[in-house]
Every structure is written in structure tokens, then in C-alpha cells.
Amino acid sequence: MNMELPRGVQDILPEDIPYWQLVENTARKLFESYNYEEIRTPIFEYTELFRKGTGETTDIVMKEMYTFTDKKGRSLTLRPEGTPGVIRAFLTNKIYNQKPVWKVYYIGPMFRYERPQAGRYRQFHQLGIEVLGRKDPYIDFEVIKLAVDLLKNLKLENLEVEINSLGCIKCRPNYREALISYFRKYEDQLSPIDKERLERNPLRLLDSKDEKLIALKDQAPQPIDYLCDECKIHFEKVQKYLSLDNIKYKLNPKLVRGLDYYTRTVFEITTTTLGSQNAVVGGGRYDNLVETYGGPSIPGLGFALGIERLIILLKQQNHISLPYIPLIFITLSEDYVETGIKLANILRTKYRVDIGSPQENLRTQLKWADKLGSFIVIFLTEEIEKNKLKIKNFKTGEEKYTDLNFNTILEDIETML
């Protein structure tokens, strides 16, 4: 039996769970303060959902999806991203008849068959937000601000906000023709995949990873130069709101994101500490996606970030103290287990608590406490008969005999941590 993990997946062990809980809890608290509600969509859906929404010409659909046929011959795909499932839920449940604006967030695993590297796995986890029903530039600002605030709340540094506008269905055709005209001159330098993109979706060429295209992309036409008046005004207001809120940003005319459905505002937040895979958060507006699925004309936008990559940054920058130190009760006699149970029940409202086995000797229990990472140990001994407890901090050597009173015990523990 092969007990090795398949390539591109990982065990998330207990010592890392506090980082995950920190990210998830911080995100939930922040998103809900902006009136976003949590949604949970299926891990697999019909393949057509992703082909139609994510885009036939994207790397995700062309090369990275985990697709399989079920017992009735239906094509299903493990979700590679969160947005299509949210849109499908919006339409399936006819949310558009219930709420004029729908603001949701999600947290969960996604699946892409790509080359594993630092912070990038074939099963990975995303958290993201989606807003459906608002087309005004304020909501573009709010989505970017939420991403910035989340990273600030996690005390992350060395981050940069990059923004661009891809235009709308009115001005995009002019830009598309300009791109085709430009890249046609260099068609002999394009790979077979990029030649196909030139015909079907030339914007994808700006997102190509082919090194031969780097110089060509630098000289290519920029979408911001082809915006219609309405798109220009929209983008100017987004920038105005960012400046009013003192959010520093830079214009990146080459930013197109890797998905076909984006329109108007797109953005990324990047870092200098993750090497070539430097994007931490990415998102933008997708005003035509609901219609693509056969729904009404409803604008939308959102962002997503990879939790694994975020946790790498948290560990690197090491600004956060995680509450993972358990309190350990050491007891050498059954006579004092009852007291330990009563005290542990109270202390668990604030701390992690574990109780040693009275069948084990003192040395064994202390070794166990050390392996658990605990340095605060409470001894359940004959001192209980005198209404006293001994508490010791094995890191500093400090020890106290405290009264057998919850408030006193709690106060002494806090002074010793």
C-alpha cells in the first residue's frame, strides 16, 4: 500500500491550524462588518459551468481542471475557483428576485492541476468575496479596500496595490482589434497555444507566461488607451475613492488577470517576498458573467486569495503571536482528578487545557507536557487539601502557590504567561 501523498497536496497539521484559524476568523469578522454573508457551494459541479464562465482560452480550462465522468456519463469538475459556483447559486436559487444586491464570501478548497511550488498546491484553499447587483465605482473601491484591510489586519507588510481597467463590451472590441493587429506582425514568434489565443481571445496573450512574449507585451497596445468615456469616468472615480481613503496604488496597464470574464476594474495586491509568484490577492469586475450563464443583466465583482500563500507570508513576517499554548494539569493521584475536572471546565472558557493521567509518574507527565509545547503546568497534589495549587512556568522557572479560587488562579496564570 502506497502511503505517500499524491503530488500537490499536503497535510495541514495541528501546529499550523492556528494560522488557518487566524486567517479565517479575521476574514469572517471583517467581511461581516461590511454586511457580507457566508456561502458554501459544492466542491464539484458540471464541467460546462467552468468552461463557460472561467473561459475556454484560460490556462485553468485548457490545462488545469480535474474533470471526470460519473456513473451516468456526466462530465463533472472539481471547482478550480469560487466565482462560477457563486453565480450558479445566485441563478439556481433566484436570488435576483429576492435581493437587489447580494454580498457574499466563501472559504474552501479548490483544485487545479498545475506545477506545485511554494504556496501553490493542486488542492489549495481560497477565501473570496462576490458582490452582485451594483455597477457604481464605489463598490469597486469597497472590494479593493476589503482586500487591503484584510492584509492590514493580519499585519502584513511590503504589499503593493496594482489596478487597471479592461473596458466594457462597448470599447473592448476596438482594443481587441488593436491587439490582433499588433500581434499579427509577430505571429511567427507565437507558440501554438498563443496563436489560438490570438484568434479566440487576444487579451490572453498579455497574460501568457511564454518568455518570448515578454518584450512583445511591453510594446503592445494598452487597454486604458481604448476606454470609452463611461469607462474612463468609472475608473477615475475608483482611483478618487482610493486616494480619499489613503490607499496607495499604482496603475499597471498590463494587468489583465487570468480569467476571461473580467471587465472594467481589475486589481492585484502583490508582495516582494514570494519570488516570481508575487500576487497575494486578485480580483475585479465581471459585469457580463451572469448573462453568460443565461441570467438577467446584473453586474458583479469580487476578489480571491490563496490561504496557503498568505500563511507563508504570516510565517515569514512573524508579527503574530498565536494562542496555542495549552495549560497542563499534572496529577499523581485519583484523589485530585475531580478538582482538576472542575478547574479545567472553567479554564477552558479562555485557554486550551489538558489533564495528565494519574497512572503516569511525574517525569512522564512533564515530558508529555513539554512535547505538547506547554510551559505552564498546574500541579494537582496534596496541597489541594490546604486549598492551594502550585503553578510553574518551565520557561522562566517562576512558580507560585495560589489559592484554590478561580479568579486568583486565572490572574496568576495571566501574570506568568
Q: Where are the beta strands (DSSP E) in 296-362?
A: 300-306, 327-331, 353-355
Is 316 annotated as belonging to a binding site? no
Dist. CA 37–CA 27, nearest whole Å: 11
Reduced to 3 states (helix: H, G, I; strand: E, B; else coil), residue 334 is helix
Q: What is the SS3 assignment for 355? A: strand
Q: Give the three cell numbers for residue 51.
A: 468552461
Q: Three-state DSSP class for 70?
A: coil
What number of other Cβ atoms are within 10 A of residue 349's Cβ? 8
Residue 120, Cβ neighbours under 10 Å: how many? 16
Residue 257, annotated ligand binder? yes
249 in a labelled binding site: no
Q: Which residue has the cell 464605489?
A: 138
Radius of gyration of the chain (CA): 27
**264 belongs to an annotated ligand binding site:** no
Q: Within 10 Å of residue 319's Cβ, how many Cβ atoms? A: 11
For residue 293, the Cα-to-chain-centroid distance in whole angstroms is 25
Q: Is position 360 annotated in a ligand binding site? A: no
Sheet holding 376-380, edge to edge: 353-355, 327-331, 376-380, 388-393, 399-403
DSSP assignment, residue 107? E
> Which H/E stretch holds residue 303?
strand 300-306
Count CB neighbours of 87 within 10 A: 24
Q: Would the annotation count 126 as a binding residue?
A: yes
Q: Is 258 annotated as contributing to ligand binding?
A: no
Close Cβ partners of 374 (under 8 Å, ≥ 6 residues apart): 325, 326, 327, 328, 354
Is 277 marked within a binding site? no
Please check if 112 is assigned to a binding site: yes
Binding residues for L-histidine: 81-83, 112, 126, 130, 257, 261-262
Binding residues: 81-83, 112, 126, 130, 257, 261-262
